[in-house]
Structure 1
Amino acid sequence: MRATFAKGQCVRGTYTPTGDAEQVTRSISFTRPWPLIGRFSVGGGNPSAPDTARTVLRGFSIKILSDGGETHLLFENAPVHFARTLDQMLAFLQVRAPGPDGKPNPEAVTAFAKANPETTRQAAFVAGKPLPASYAGIVYWGVHAFTGVNSAGRAAPFKFKVVPAAGEIALSDEEAKGKPPQFLVAELTERLSKGPARFDVVAMLAEPGDDLTNDITLRWKNEDDRRAVKLGTIAVTAIEPNETCDEGIFDPGQLADGIEAPQDEIFEARRTAYGISFGLRAK
């Protein structure tokens, strides 16, 4: 099983660009139509995690199957990461390691959060949202700052945002009580039987003074209200056997020419760690 986002469902679909995509990138992945493979997921290492857990991350990973160079992207339903540096990320995980009683030490977790307040921002954002009622009704973010290079060679730093055409679909706490612990895939299957689930792929453009390389526990100022370019539309069309997604990885370092990788240390580590993780679970 994956170390995190162990629970998930593979899907297939298409990507269709807008005429504005070339303002941001010359990448063949984003300026031409392509098939794609995707995976919706629930955070954590438990493949049977209940869909009714409101404070657990939801993820959406895609492979744009562009001939001559794929692009893989990983999104989640929070606009920030839970750690600023690798050392802080390791400490965050270590303090949650089970003790002799099989449980983390709550006092140690609280003390760590107090000493490292930036590690609480992701959880606070997710906790402030109602329970997602559908994978197709969640806003997903790319968290890291990418750099697009357009056909004129001009650089355009940006962050990805994936917005559902159906809008955000959520459940009240009372409605959530009536849901079975495993309902998201059944809901998605029923939804796709009536037509594709569509998402806008948006580039939120950087402005002077934005942090492009360091602290991914912080959002850019007025991030949701700034100039953005719609790159294209994802249409999820069908459920795909999970074996399709499990036979490889969604490699964050796999980017077609015209999209440059983020420079923060968390992203750089992910490029290596995902391959190691796949090697371990493939044994």
Structure 2
Amino acid sequence: MSKFPNGAATPASVVDALKAIADTQPRARASFAQGRCVRGTYAPSDLAKEITKSQSFTKPSRVLARFSADGDNINIPLLRGFSFRLGSNGQRSEVLTQSVPIHFARTLDQMLAFLRARIPGPDGKPNRNKVAAFSASNPETRHQADYIAAHPLPASLAGTTYWGVHAFPATNSKGETRFIKFKVMPVGEEGSHAANQATANATDLLQSDLDSRIAARDLRFSVMALLDRPGDPVMDVTIRWPDEDAREALRLGTIVVTGVEPSEACDEALFNPANLAEGIGHPPDEMFAARRAAYDISQTRCR
């Protein structure tokens, strides 16, 4: 029997379901609980102003960021995350990206049902028949897992490409607004695919590798803006834009990771996607609105 009441989903019930699946400590993050906090710098490109007037992306600043991993079984596929904060003096933006360009649910109700189907039973394992039945009646929730299966993860967090699954309205100094998607690409770190899934899932190995790379030299990531075209779906985060991999993208700037920070620095920050400086607006899809509320709830519980 479900531990949650029936009825419409709420951000709080989704946070509860995430924690029930991950079996994390009460004050731990509901997702992406294992991570490494880092510091660095951001340098904008000359093209950034063409896309947005946001000072977070058009001016140099310090960066606080967090690499993370989430999920370690066939029911919740492994994701990697890269959250970062740019800007200063009241012009800060916090962007959350992940190693897959799509989300596993289109609506909050669908997300809660997806998670509930995977909550472990008395034997500590989810009911496979329940998971299969849900997937069959909600085929779009398989898109993320299918992408992961077709795109093995690199052996390093430093060689991973990270995506923002939402379409953000970006406004430049001329008042022109268009939708963009964030794509964060490693510079000179495109490593080979992981030798096996066990290596890809080993959080300790990933963090150790990241630490050694930071100690050896700076890590660089290009912050890209994928540009929209007329008719692109901006309300459904379970599907990609047509020809997304081949379409035009502009480099907003470069993040240079220069050192490791204590975990407490990022625990205090608890990056919230709602924090965006003027020039980058909130995406219009339902999942972003729910995500904003869920991060507020998770942040309160982590205190």
Same fold (TM over 0.5): yes
* 1:275 maps to 2:296: yes
**TM-score between the two structures when normalised by the length of structure 2:** 0.86
For 2:48 and 2:138, locate their aligned partners in 1 and report how far apart those are by CA, in whole Å. Answer: 38
Q: Which residue of 1 aligns with 2:266?
A: 245
Q: State whether residues 131 and 176 of structure 1, in contact with CA within 8 Å, keep that contact through their aligned partners in structure 2.
A: no
Distance 1:122 1:168 in 2: 22
Q: Hey, what does 1:163 align to over in structure 2? A: 185
> CA offsets, 1:188-234, max 9 Å, x none?
1111122211011110000011012x211000000111111110001
Partner-residue secondary structure (3-state), 1:268 = helix
The CA distance in 1 between the partners of 2:200 and 2:269, in whole Å, is 36
Deviations 1:105-159 (A, max 9, x none): 1001001111111101111111222243111100100000001100001102110
1:203–1:229 CA contact under 8 A, matched in 2: yes
Which of 67, 72, 75 does residue 40 from structure 1 map onto?
67
Verify the 8 A CA contact 1:142 1:160 in the aligned structure 2.
yes
Contact 2:158 2:186 in 1 (8 A): yes
Q: Which amino acid aligns with 1:201?
A: V
Q: Could you say which residue in structure 2 is the equivalent of 1:260?
A: 281
Q: Where does residue 40 of structure 2 map in the other structure?
A: 13
Inter-CA distance 181–239: structure 2 relative to 1 (3 Å threshold): closer
Which structure has greater helix proportion? 2
Cα distance change, pair 274–178 in 1 and its aligned pair in 2 (3 A): closer
Residues 131, 173 of structure 1: 8 Å contact kept:
no
Q: Partner of 1:2: helix, strand, or coil?
A: coil
AA matched with 2:280 = I
Task: State yes or no: 1:77 paired with 2:130.
Answer: no
Q: Which residue of 1 aligns with 2:58?
A: 31
Stretches (4+) displaced over 4 A: 174-181
Q: Does the residue aligned with 2:115 lie in a helix, a strand or coil?
A: helix
What per-residue deviation string (whole Å, max 9, x for no partner) do you get for residues 167-208 of structure 1? 432344359669976211211111112221101111000001
Counterpart mapping for 1:222-241 below 5 A: 222-241=243-262
- CA RMSD, 1 decimal: 2.0
Distance 1:175 1:82, change over 3 A: closer
Amino acid at match of 2:175: G
1:26 partner amino acid: K
TM-score w.r.t. length of structure 1: 0.92
Amino acid at match of 2:146: A
Output the amino acid matched with 2:35.
G
Counterpart code for 1:94:
R
The equivalent residue for 2:227 is 205
Give the unaligned 5+ runs of structure 2.
1-27
State the number of aligned residues: 274
Distance 1:139 1:230 in 2: 14
Asked whether the equivalents of residues 171 and 280 of structure 2 are also in contact (C-alpha less than 8 Å), the reply is yes
Classify 1:188/1:25 alpha carbon distance in 2 versus 1 (closer, same or farther; 3 Å).
same
Asked if the contact 2:84–2:96 (Cα under 8 Å) also holds between the matched residues in 1, the reply is yes
Structure 2 CA distance for aligned equivalents of residues 206 and 157 of structure 1 = 5
Which blocks of at least 5 consecutive residues in structure 1 are unaligned? none
Aligned to 1:146: 168
Q: What amino acid maps onto 2:45 in structure 1?
A: T
Structure 2 distance, partners of 1:267, 1:5, is 17
Q: Contact (CA 8 Å) 2:155, 2:199: kept in 1 or not?
A: no
Q: Structure 1 residues 173 and 115 mapped into 2: Cα distance closer, same or farther (>3 Å)?
A: same
1:218 aligns with 2:239: yes
**Residue identity matched to 2:292:** R
Report if the CA contact (8 A) 2:67-2:80 is conserved.
yes
Q: Which amino acid aligns with 1:240?
A: E
Letter in 1 for 2:66: R
Structure 1 Cα separation of the partners of residues 201 and 276 of structure 2: 38
CA separation in 1, counterparts of 2:114 and 2:95? 24
Structure-2 separation of matches of 1:245 and 1:7: 12
More divergent stretch after superposition (5-14 vs 175-184): 175-184
- Partners of 1:111 and 1:147 lie apart in 2 by 36
SS in 2 for 1:247: helix
